[in-house]
Amino acid sequence: MTAPPPPPPPTQFPEVWSRKHDLPGLPWCIAKGVAKGILLIFFAVLLPIEILYSTFGPTDFLLHHSFSEALLAWGGSALAVTSAGFTMFQTTRGYGFFRLANRVAKLTYQYILATLAIFTLGPYAFTWGGGAAAVSAHFDFADIFYLFMIPTTLALLAAFVTLYEDVKHPGERLPWDFPISRRTRRRREKEMAAYIGVPPPG
């Protein structure tokens, strides 16, 4: 009995060896996106509503603010959904679009908050010897939101460039966004060394 002949060598390297990136699987991306969305719903919707209404209360007749529950709910949800979206689609061409949508939503939300960012107290009316008086006060902190619109605008520009890159050169960013890990690289080096019959480096 003679040994069977060895299998013929493959006509080309396995495709996985030529990949320049190490993309996570779609289920992993979706799980990350959902987790991020849930966290953002908590931090961008539930927490602000709770803080606002536990601090000032909707029934406080003296201290007024214009941040409605609906605004906080819709604004925070828009941020959460778009943010979850770009995390889910990070490995696809939809990433740039969701990233841009997220920055547009954030910029719009910050602008709306800035226009409403004023607390008013009173008017508190009282009488005094032979007369009546009313006292009122206000505190305007819109500039805080306008300041935060500066980094958001820069991030919006970045998202626009990413969208353009995804459309013009699909997949160009993937090797740098998802570089091959050291562990994977070593494994591939071993596989390649075994294939060509030399010991792996190191």
Partner 1 sequence: MMEYRRRRPPLYRLARYLRWSAVLAAILVVVFLISTAVSAVEFASGLHVTTPKSGGYEFNYTQSTGFTAAFEANVTNAGLYPLVLDLTTVAYTPQGPLVPRTTTGVVTLTPGGRATTIGFKLQIPESTLVSTEGNLLLNNTPVWGNVWFNGSYAYIYQFGFAVAANGTWGAPFENLTVVPGTPSTSSGETTVPVTVNYTNNAIFQLAGNVTIQVVDNGADCGPLVELPVDTPSHQGFREVVNLTGPSSCMVPGASVSAAFLVGPASLPLLTARFP
Q: Tell me the C-alpha distance between 177 and 96, whole Å.
A: 13
Contact between 4 and partner 1 by CB under 8 A: the answer reads no
Q: In angstroms, what is the minimal distance from the CB of 19 to partner 1?
A: 11
Cα-based distances in Å from 13 to 65, 67, 119, 188, 193: 66, 61, 68, 11, 12
Residue in 128, 196, 197, 199 binding partner 1, rule: CB under 8 A: 128
Question: In the set 64, 111, 158, 190, which binds partner 1 (CB under 8 A)?
Answer: 158
Contact segment (CB under 8 A) with partner 1 among 45-53, 56-64, 79-87, 161-169 equals 161-169
Alpha-carbon span 162 to 90, nearest angstrom = 11
- Measured at the alpha carbon of residue 90, what is the angle toward residues 84 and 95, in degrees to the nearest 5? 85
The CB-of-189 to partner 1 minimum distance in angstroms stands at 8
- Give Cα 109 to chain centroid, integer Å: 15
| Residue ranges in contact with partner 1 by CB under 8 A | 20, 123, 128-141, 143-144, 147-148, 150-152, 154-155, 157-159, 161-162, 164-165, 168-169, 172-173, 175-176, 179-180, 185, 189
